[in-house]
Structure 1
Amino acid sequence: MAPLTLGYNDKHPFTQVPITDRSSVQELLRTLLDPLEPFFSPQKALVKCPGATAVRFDQRASEVEGFFRPLWGLACLLAGGGEYRLTEWWIRGISAGTDPESPEYWGFPRDNDQRMVEMCPFGFALAVAPDLWKGLSTKERANVENWLGNSINEKNMPNTNWLWFRVFANLGLKQNGAKYSEERLESDIKHLDTFYRGDGWSNDGPEGIHQMDYYSSSFAIHFLQLLYAKLAGESDPSRAKEFKHRAQIAALDLAHYYDVEGRAITFGRSLVYRFAMVSFWGAMAYADVDLPAPLTWGMVKGIVLRNLRWWQTKNDIWTSSGTLSLGFAYPSMYVRITENYNSPGSPYWSCLAFICLAVPEQHPFWTSKEEPISLQIPKVKAIRQPGHITSYLGGHCMLLSSGQACGYPMKATHAKYGCFAYSSAFGYSVPSGLFSLEQYALASQLGLSDDGGEYWKTRRLSEYAAIEERDGQPILVSVWKPFSDVKVKTLLVPPAEETPNWHLRVHHIQAGREVMTADGSFAILNVNSENGRYLDLYDASKCEGTSPKIIGNYDLNSPAGWDTGINGAFAAAPNRGAVGIKALEEGGRQAMLVNADPNTNLMDSRTTIPTLQHTIPQGHGVWYVSAVYARPAGDGVPKESYLDGWNKPPAIPAWLALEMAAA
């Protein structure tokens, strides 16, 4: 097969597959695997995906990752009776990679080695695709036992979801009658169970860490619990039953993270794994879980297939060679969107989404007609364990968040976990640098600066975070300190039926020093439909533009670029919808548009952020009540309606007026 090269306006084969049934999803997977062909090493044990990006582990481990991550998809295809023309290459690669005498030997892992992560798809593949094991000689099988079993069982691992990777390394060997450690397998699962917090949710780590993102569901924990329940159900029935039960409970929460357009809420780290965000649902079918009412297999099928179709519209996610790029909706030019463990082969963890191909063709996942999410699911829901309040109102799935944080100093961790709101339609933004609002790109964040606006601090860690109630409605409350003598209490109020495109962010700030503040709405595409340049002043005839005017990055004092906080600032963009922010309190806040640095946002490379700014004198306390507007584009949403709710913001709730008066 000739190497794939994408030129000007070329479309990737992935985008051309009409997704209708199981066979079409099989073909979709093949369009992901085919472009890898030129990047296999001579003995097939390594895959060097395009891109010279360095990561925290060695280059050989990066190429091991490139080999194993696509195996998630291939193993699922084979487990479901499908075929792939290059399957033999993976068998040859396993033979060479585990052979200490081979020039392509993968190398014995050290403590906390990336190779351990890749042992998870290896173990799963051995368990579900027996031809991979049968294709090896007696000596080659012994090499696999030594590399996959002995090495990982002798080393230390991070106290996180990684422990599941060792479980699957041992499980894959066990399923084939090979040497493995039952003691390690049992002790790891027992320890992983200490991560369980209740309500179906597991934390990604021990006490003292609050991190429940897609690793708790689709990327690792729930996904692997369900695979374990399927593969070890007969030998470990009580655990299998418990893991299925947890998934049933969590499913009623996780259904709130996917919208009718097929988009998933962007939240947390590792979003380069893209369509793996829906793998939980395919794993539910694979493990034969009975769905809790009101969920149906038609709804579950719809979540998965709509998400894959949405990704088909993102033709910029590919390298010119047709492999998946590092980034989200386009290749990231700034490493803060990615993590320090994302090598060029890393995005192929996306292949977890193809667990649905291991589901038999006669399963109701495949035989059911696609359905939208049930109207019986609450429009607004407080989800206690992750500290989220989710909303289906306003044309997208949105969550308000407080209290989560990464357990180590991850790049842009304040943006990935500390934003006030996350949306399926409007991705979060990360900083491109450490100078000025343009570089910080404070979408859905409150920034504070004590040096006149050069450096900004936002919410990262909270001293207190909880879901509370006001007048019978859930709200999120957090207390945090950007500086030792500046204290912020933030209340997040979800949308209401009467004002579905608005949510409230309330900040009570006590400033022990003078600070500038900047409260940003969601970010939105900053490209006009006429000539591809930045958005102009709002034009009602085109239904696009901003108010007030976007001023150049270095001309921020122009009067045309500012309005009062009460009037607020908004931006309406072609095929994206509209976002904006207004101050509901009387005071001196001013509204403007921040022209964010390019490539800071997950969804669009050029964005603008409607923002409210103010300066608090030293020793003063203030209340901010920010009404944040978001109406995304979508099927059946005319552009003339993007700003329908803009002039009808919610009023300050009576309970909030009382709290403000009493403070």
Structure 2
Amino acid sequence: MTYDPVSANPLHGNPLKSRADVENALHDLFNPLLPFFSDGGARVRLDAAGAHFDRAAADLEGFARPLWGVTPLAAGGGSFEHWELYRRGLANGTDPEHPEYWGTVNSTDQRMVELAAIGFTMRMVPQLVWEPLDEKAKANLATYLKHARSFDYADNNWKFFRILVDLGLEECGVAFDRSLTEKYLEELDGFYLGDGWYRDGNIRRIDHYIPFAMHFYGLIYARLARGDEARVAAYKERAQLFARDIRHWFDEDGGTLAFGRSLTYRFACGGFWGALAFADLEALPWGEIKGQFMRHLRWWADKPIANRDGILSIGYGYPDLFMSESYNSAGSPYWALKAFLPLALPADHPFWTAEETPAVTSKKPVPLKHPGMVMMHTKGNVVALSSGQQNWQMRHGTEKYAKFVYSSRYGFSVEVDERAYHQGAFDGALAFSDDGRHYRVRETNEVAKIAESTLFSRWKPWADVVVETWLIPANGWHVRAHRIVTPRALHATEGGFAIGRADASADSCIDESGRAVARSQTDVSAIVDLGGTREGRAHRALPNTNLIVSKTIVPQLRGDIAAGTTVLMTAVMALPAGAEAEALLARPPAPPDLAALEALFAREGVDVSAIMVPERF
């Protein structure tokens, strides 16, 4: 029988409608890990792929990350039969004389990340992981945690990890220096921008770490902290504001915007909705919060996201190392279990008893000043026009942060050969080449502004080439206007949305002057040159470049750019196949008036918050 990779997904076949379904899903995700626990219980090693940190830290990651799910399960009264295994692992992993010792933290270290889950577990269920330990094991665990927390953590969401460890130490009666806790709480407040939005450190990055880290940990603190009423109230107020915006990063089917780093954590993106419930914060009506949470889990249930043995793979919509980060080990995807935080709540909590309500979407574009996005809801999709963010630290950081447009349904693509310009996907991007082999795309912006529902950026692919780009929503389409000033001739390729393609070239494509169209059984994607003469190409991108599906077609426009000033006007759309898509395809928008756009930004343009820190190299 032909192997069906979807069937290996532990969520496959689960209706994911009730609390019991969610509890079953957690067991189905955890159980495939059991054969990979070491004899001493302290290490979980899932394959031979490496991360930038050492093997002991990777094995700790495999051990600790499932705790984000099983700890709430136990706190909520659910059955979990493997606490003895975890107690053994805690004792051996923190014992310097044991061969499964996790190694000593001596500076900023991946172990700091994973110890947060242990601190959370000690705070939530000390009767299961602390109290049964003998005195030597308790002393070793306390010493290990206190030593790790004495070092500086990374200057971003990591600062919450010390705070979570401290919650556990406090619950277990271990004395520690509380001034370090207060120091990081104050520094985390320094990342707050307003309107519910943070940045992830003093950098040009506002991504899923805001909901699944900054707010997620803040809401845990809001539920578990003692004697810090003012900060608890602030965290709740910020989360309430944030919920009104972040719901527009989710589409009507539960998919979330594919944007930024660490997307291999998958349904951790739904963790914010569960954290609202955990903190008993009805930031939106409970039916809406529950609907966002459950739809998101269901969205993942038909994706081939696990290996044949049911172990979650590195990747997004399928196993894909190309899109991974240097800090992704085989255990990394299990941060997805952060989504199971609501299992700590009893079955009669209003989050669980509420009837799901549909996603709240908007027919009008939704501008978001802080991340520099304009959100557009279309059928089964949410699209973000984007300007103002960057990331040069991560693999494929340019593709993850600096494209013009991102999508929940169509994801985005990463380039896999920097010396193959003519094979590039360049979806959501404008690429230039001066030699036909190498290429440059937008990596950062000198200026990024938003006015009403339009974005503007000025960027330089080379020091002597200046590009000004306006991004404009246009009733199911979006328009990109580019003014390019170059002292030498270039070649340019601009890409639309990537859609999945069938085997044996069974899809229908149009390649002609002025436009390219790709039609599959499920989707239609098009790019149109508004008044120009660029050649259209429905490009079969290299495999395993897109996050959602492994083989794609990307409609592109290609042409020469003469020395001097050139203006390009581009319209882009993608929709599920059907009458609506064909009707939209027949009505591309008119090109915008550049003078009117310039006047708009002179009158109303404000800086995108994301760009308002110095560039970092």
TM-score with structure 1 setting the length: 0.87
- 2:316 is aligned, of 328, 347, 363, to 328
Distance apart, 1:437 and its partner CA: 3.8
1:307 is aligned to 2:296: yes
Tell me the SS of whatever aligns to 2:85.
Answer: helix
Q: Taking structure 1 as reference, are residues 459 and 281 closer, same or farther at Cα in structure 2, changes over 3 Å only?
A: same
- Partner residue of 1:488 out of 464, 467, 475: 467
Correspondent of 2:376 among 377, 384, 391: 391
**How far apart in 1 are the matches of 2:260 and 2:372?**
13
- Matched with 2:210 is 216
Match of 1:542 in 2: none
| Contact residue 6 and residue 302 of structure 2 kept, 8 A | no
Are 2:324 and 1:338 equivalent residues in the alignment? yes
Residues 62-461 of structure 1 aligned to structure 2 (within 5 Å): 62-130=58-126, 131-149=128-146, 151-206=147-202, 209-218=203-212, 220-232=213-225, 234-291=226-283, 295-314=284-303, 316-334=304-322, 337-374=323-360, 379-406=364-391, 408-437=392-421, 439-452=423-436, 454-461=437-444
Deviation at 1:535, TM superposition (A): 3.7
Shift of 1:379: 3.4
Distance 1:486 1:654, change over 3 A: closer
How far off its partner does 1:410 sit? 1.6
Partner SS, residue 269 of structure 2: helix
Q: Is 1:503–1:628's contact at 8 Å kept on the other side of the alignment? A: yes
Partner Cα separation in structure 2 for residue 7 and residue 395 of structure 1: 24
2:337 and 2:597 map into 1 onto residues whose CA distance is: 52
1:655 Cα deviation from its structure 2 partner: 6.2
Distance 1:468 1:535 in 2: 43
Please give the alpha-carbon distance, in whole angstroms, between the structure 1 residues aligned to 2:41 and 2:371: 42
Greater displacement, 253-262 / 9-18: 9-18
Runs of 4+ aligned structure 1 residues displaced above 3 Å come to 6-13, 437-440, 639-642, 653-660
Match of 2:482 in 1: 507
Matched, 1:609 2:554: yes
Runs of 5+ unmatched residues, structure 1: 1-5, 537-544, 549-562, 634-638
Query: Counterpart of 2:547 in 1: which secondary structure?
Result: coil
Deviation at 1:640, TM superposition (A): 4.8
Structure 2 partner of 1:649: 588
Instruction: Give the drift of 1:463.
Output: 0.1
Query: 2:314 touches 2:324 (CA, 8 Å); kept in 1?
Result: yes
Identity of aligned residues (%): 40
Which blocks of at least 5 consecutive residues in structure 2 are unaligned? 600-617
CA distance in 2, matches of 1:535, 1:7: 21
Q: Residue 87 of structure 1: CA displacement? A: 2.4
User: Which of 463, 469, 491 lines up with 2:446 in the alignment?
Assistant: 463
CA offset at residue 25 of structure 1? 0.4
Q: Which amino acid aligns with 2:389?
A: Q
Report if the CA contact (8 A) 1:438-1:595 is conserved. Answer: no
For the aligned residue pairs, the C-alpha RMSD in angstroms reads: 1.8
The letter for the 1-side match of 2:540 is N
Does the 8 A contact of 1:126 with 1:176 survive in 2? yes
1:571 matched to 2:513: no
SS at match of 1:643: helix
Q: Is the contact made by 2:8 and 2:309 (CA closer than 8 Å) also made in structure 1?
A: no
> What is the CA–CA distance in structure 2 between the aligned matches of 1:9 and 1:579, rounded to whole Å?
25
CA distance, structure 2, for counterparts of residue 439 and residue 224 of structure 1: 42
Q: Render the CA deviation track for 1:4-26: whole Å, top value 9, x for unaligned.
A: xx877854442122212111101
Matched AA of 2:308: S
Note if contact 1:504-1:626 (Cα within 8 Å) is conserved in structure 2: yes
> Number of paired residues?
597
Residue 12 to residue 603, structure 1, CA distance change in 2 (3 Å): closer
- 3-state secondary structure, aligned to 1:369: coil
Q: Secondary structure at the match of 1:15?
A: coil
Task: Tell me whether 1:547 sits opposite 2:535 in the alignment.
Answer: no
Shift in Å, 1:569 = 0.6
Q: Distance in 1 between matches of 2:7 and 2:568?
A: 49
C-alpha distance in structure 2 between counterparts of 1:522 and 1:384, whole Å: 24
Q: Secondary structure at the match of 1:434?
A: coil
Q: Check 1:226–1:659 CA distance in 2 against 1; reply closer, same or farther (3 A cut).
A: closer
Residue in structure 1 matching 2:532, options 587, 598, 604: 587
Instruction: Tell me how far apart the structure 2 counterparts of residues 534 and 127 of structure 1 sit (CA, whole Å).
Output: 56
CA deviations over 1:103-153 (Å, ceiling 9, x no partner):
11111112111100001111111111122112212221111111112x223
Q: Distance in 2 between matches of 1:338 and 1:615?
A: 34
Contact 1:535-1:546 at 8 Å conserved across structures: no
* Cα distance in structure 1, aligned partners of 2:5 and 2:273: 36
The question of 1:53 aligning with 2:49 is answered yes
Deviation (angstroms), 1:372: 0.6
Q: Tell me by how many angstroms 1:643 deviates.
A: 2.3
- Name the aligned partner's letter for residue 405 of structure 1: Q
The residue type equivalent to 2:374 in the other structure is I
* Distance 1:99-1:266 versus aligned 2 partners, 3 A rule: same
Conserved 8 A contact 1:440-1:456: no
Distance 1:326 1:534 in 2: 28
| Mapped partners of 1:658, 1:432: distance in 2 | 35
Whole-Å Cα distance in 2 between the matches of residues 327 and 438 of structure 1?
Answer: 25
Shift of residue 199, structure 1, vs aligned partner: 1.2
Structure 2 vs 1, CA of residues 656 and 369 (structure 1 numbering), >3 Å: closer, same or farther? Answer: farther
Structure 1 counterpart of 2:571, from 627, 640, 661: 627
The aligned counterpart of 1:520 is: 495
Counterpart CA distance in 2 for 1:378 and 1:296 is 20
1:159-182 deviation per Cα after TM superposition (whole angstroms, max 9, x unaligned): 111111111111111122112321
Inter-partner Cα distance in structure 2 for 1:195 and 1:658: 32
SS in 2 for 1:494: strand
